[in-house]
A and B are shown apart, each in its own frame.
Chain A
Amino acid sequence: MISKAIKFVKEQLTAEPSFVFVGPPASGKTVYFTCAMDRIKKILSQSPACGLSLQTEDKKTLKRHNSSISAMKKGGWPPKTMAAHKLYYLLTKKIRVGGKFHLADIDTRLIYHDYPGEVFEKAFGDENADPHWEKEAKNLKTDLQTAHGVFLVIDTPKLHNGEDEAYNLQLFDLLKFIENETKVKRICVIFTKRDLFRRDPEFDPKQHLRLLYDDAWSFLERSKAAFFFVTAVSNPGSDLDGNLVPPKGFETSQSENLIEPLAWALKLQL
């Protein structure tokens, strides 16, 4: 059974969805999908009837995932992404045989490319950014070319603050690249840090984006992108030095709109 599954996996390799998370530094990419994957995992495990479960494929991914979650529970952020990581998750079907669950099928293998924000800045927009990231920038472009979907993560406070020329250029370049040189099918725009906007429930980041960066907007419209306004970590507190930190004992169930983007991208019904 297992060997069959593995065989199946290997055959499916080329058809696997891989997703690239891209966005400027400190926009919340790593935090977002860590929380999202964690949530999906919990939801699936709470409803065994659907037969699906989400798990990490390799030890490295598991380790990263767990350490990020535990850091946040203790009231800190996961360490800043300093290099590109590939993280592998598996959506699997399990059937119950005897008292145990067995792996029946691998539904989807998800590969996430987590890039440091600096790479995005280097790869798109002004070419004169820090040469340190040159190699990674090339890798990013290559990964984008074979990716199934792109999650464009946008830091909402930054958007809300006003127009940024450099950022405008980066967005434009990225989207142009995606349109012309990749086979990306689904673009999902995630506006993060929604909880900061509690006092302004009328605020619509989508409209704001349209107003500020209309060139980028037209790309997005054409590719039928979906927009989501999310909170990965709600009610962040601040420590005595004034750093925003996750609240102690943080639970992903407190997040908002956390899994909707993924569900859309993966075409999951959850």
Chain B
Amino acid sequence: MATPDPYAPIIKLAVLVNLARERARQAELPEGRQEQLQILAHRIHRIRSLQEGKDTKIRVGVFGAPKRGKSTLLNALLGEELMPTAQVPLSTTTIEIERDTSIPGRRVIIDHPSGRIEERDCKSAQEVAKLLETYGSRRGTSESALRLRLKGDFPDCKILAEGGVLLDTPGAEVAFEPDKKLAAEAQRALDALKSTHLVLFCMRADQIGSRSDSELYEKHVRSLAPVHVVTMKDKYEGDIGNLIDDVLKNYGLTQAEPTLVSAHQAMSDETLGISGMAQFEEKVLREIGRITPEHGLLSCLRNFELAAEDFSEIRPERIHFMNLYGEIEGLNNDWSSEAIKHMRSKPEFWKL
């Protein structure tokens, strides 16, 4: 046999989780549990989609209601003011940023609505910003591009260096009667969600409890296992500890602790330390890591335990567990041994 397929255990786990989900549904388990399984299934799906997909780049996108600081946050990650930002709602289309060391400067690729694809090489950040503003914001021509891509060497951005693709999206307003312009933008953002591996859901520190965020979250983002990001943390007027409580309470978040960050503070050296930017980057990188089978497997196993514990009736037949175990064993490497060790520590659950 050739090199064992690292995705094989993940595939077996997918079968397990799916069977458990189906049974959980039939047994009418509490919504929270069913949702946990759903989120887990999505995580696994994400990991597998890297295997199935043609490109192996992990897509990391910022999402949220309008004016949540998404573009500003990306600029802070990139270390340059490239994404269009303003006080009034601005972004109209998604912008993908990818590292490509073969390009000397920066290249902007514009997908025009007419179908024409244009490539423009830029020498300066201002040039890039201007182009992105022209084709990707309300300040520009009335017909914004369907998609914008930015390629170049971004040495300071760790996420891009790891092989990720960053995605800036227009604000998605789904809670109220949207005006005509926003509806198209919201649609673009929601479409982008489908192909995103890691969703960074952005909320504003001074707007916690806003229905715009909660509706978007509930309807479209929740089941995608997003990273919860609270931007503009410098604008919060109370105790920081309370801010986290607020977020947890308002969004019913039980698991993920939100990441607090201030792009504004990250811009200046004195406040960079307290801006939360470093922790944010780390978190994103960690999450990216978990999308690969190497890192994802163990955390998925743990998540499955959490979701299915106390409900023995939903666990599938022993043979499936055995097959999973067998696949992991067959890989015979560091991370598979770790997984094996973990499973052995809980033999009753894993039916060993």
The chain A residues found within 8 Å of chain B, CB to CB, are 156-158, 160-162, 196-197, 199-200, 237-238, 240-244
Contacts and interface: CB of A to CB of B under 8 A. Distances in A.
6 contacts: A156-B319, A196-B320, A237-B11, A238-B12, A242-B19, A242-B41
B326 A241 contact: no
Given A196-B323, A199-B322, A243 B317 contact: no
**7 closest A-B pairs by CB:** A242-B18, A242-B14, A161-B317, A157-B317, A157-B319, A199-B326, A161-B318
B319 A241 contact: no
A242 B317 contact: no
Given A157-B317, A158-B317, A160-B319, A241 B18 contact: yes
B48 interface: yes
Contact of B11 (A162, A199, A238): A238
Nearest to B13: A242
Contacts of B48: 240
Contacts of B41: 241-242
A199 B45 CA distance: 25
Nearest to A156: B319
Most buried by B among A156, A160, A199: A199
Contacts of A157: 317-320
A242 B319 CA distance: 16
Interface string B1-39: 000000000011111111101000000000000000000
B322 A200 contact: yes
Interface in B291-341: 317-320, 322-323, 326
A157 B12 CA distance: 15
B207 interface: no
A158 B48 CA distance: 27
A160 B323 contact: no
Interface residues of B, number: 23
Contacts of A156: 319
A197 B322 CA distance: 9
B52 interface: yes
Contact of B44 (A199, A242, A244): A242
A37 to B, nearest CB: 27
Contact of B17 (A196, A197, A242): A242
A238 B327 CA distance: 15
B280 to A, nearest CB: 29
Given A160-B319, A200-B322, 10 more contacts: A156-B319, A157-B319, A161-B318, A196-B319, A238-B12, A240-B45, A241-B14, A242-B15, A242-B17, A242-B45
B49 interface: yes
B52 A160 contact: no
A36 to B, nearest CB: 23
A248 to B, nearest CB: 13
B45 A241 contact: yes
B236 to A, nearest CB: 40
B189 to A, nearest CB: 23
Nearest to B18: A242
A115 B275 CA distance: 66
